[in-house]
Amino acid sequence: MLRHSYFLWLFTVCGLWETQAQYQPSLLDQIATHQQQWFTYTAGKQAEYLKKLDLMKEELDDQLNALQVKTEIQLQALREVAESQKAVVEATPLQREPGPPPTKLFKKIGSRYFYIGKDSKVTWFAASDECRLIGGYIATINDQEELNEVNQIFGSDAFWLDINSLPKTGTFLSSRTGERAPFYKWGEGQPTKKHENECIFIRNKKMYSADCWAVNYFICQSEPLN
């Protein structure tokens, strides 16, 4: 009787073990399952990164296209300015009656020689051309002392100077040297930087910016004559 009970118990235990073994995966099966999950996760992450890279590439392409369009617009604006300046030069009468030599046109003010153009108001471009035609170039003021001396002739009128922002908007340089002018004396709230092409005029010992196509009197300079 006891023997029969032992065998019955043994069969029952073996049956339960076999049943449990059927439903519990082996260690290798678990590793394979985890590997498959990892590969699936890695592939998903890689696809996500590639999608982000594609989006970044599209954004960079859009920025590059926008930059190219902006550059082309700026180049076109420069072409138009160059054509306008060329038209001004061509319209300026080169055949004129012989005038006095530069030694008589230019008067010594302080330590240098200047010509005060008060016959008519002209654009900055025309003023620059006028100065070249008489053997000089549009003037740059060197310091406060020179400004005080020249201003005695100016009165309250406005006169174009050499300084402008034509090469780079917002940066005011001398057109003769391509560098910063030796002296700036800005009026209140100046320069305004309201226009793409701004040139500087002087009035009442202060410098102001304006559209280069506006009209003012002008002042030319010449190196000291021996």
Summarised one tens digit per residue, pLDDT across range 189-225 is: 888 877 778 999 999 999 999 999 999 999 999 865 4
> Are 218 and 138 a contacting pair, CB within 8 Å?
yes
Secondary structure (3-state) at 173: strand
102-222 classified as CATH 3.90.700.10? no
Q: What does the pLDDT average to over 34-45? A: 70
Would the pLDDT of 36 be above 90? no
pTM attached to this predicted model:
0.54
Report residue 95's pLDDT band, with 50, 70 and 90 as the boundaries.
Answer: very low
Cα 83 to Cα 76: distance, rounded to the nearest angstrom: 10
Question: What confidence score (pLDDT) does residue 185 get?
Answer: 92
Cα 128 to Cα 125: distance, rounded to the nearest angstrom: 5
Secondary structure (3-state) at 61: helix
Give me the residues paired with residue 114 across strands. 107, 221
| 198 C-beta neighbours (distance < 10 Å), count | 23
Cα 125 to Cα 139: distance, rounded to the nearest angstrom: 13
- The model's pLDDT over 159-178, given as tens digits with 9 standing for 90+, comes to 999 999 888 878 889 988 88
How would you class 121 by CB atoms within 10 Å of its CB: exposed for 0-12, middle for 13-18, buried for 19 or more? Answer: middle
What distances in angstroms separate CA 23 from CA 11, 19, 29, one per listed residue?
A: 19, 7, 12
Question: What confidence score (pLDDT) does residue 51 get?
Answer: 81
Report residue 152's pLDDT band, with 50, 70 and 90 as the boundaries.
Answer: confident
| 78 C-beta neighbours (distance < 10 Å), count | 14
Would the pLDDT of 3 be above 90? no
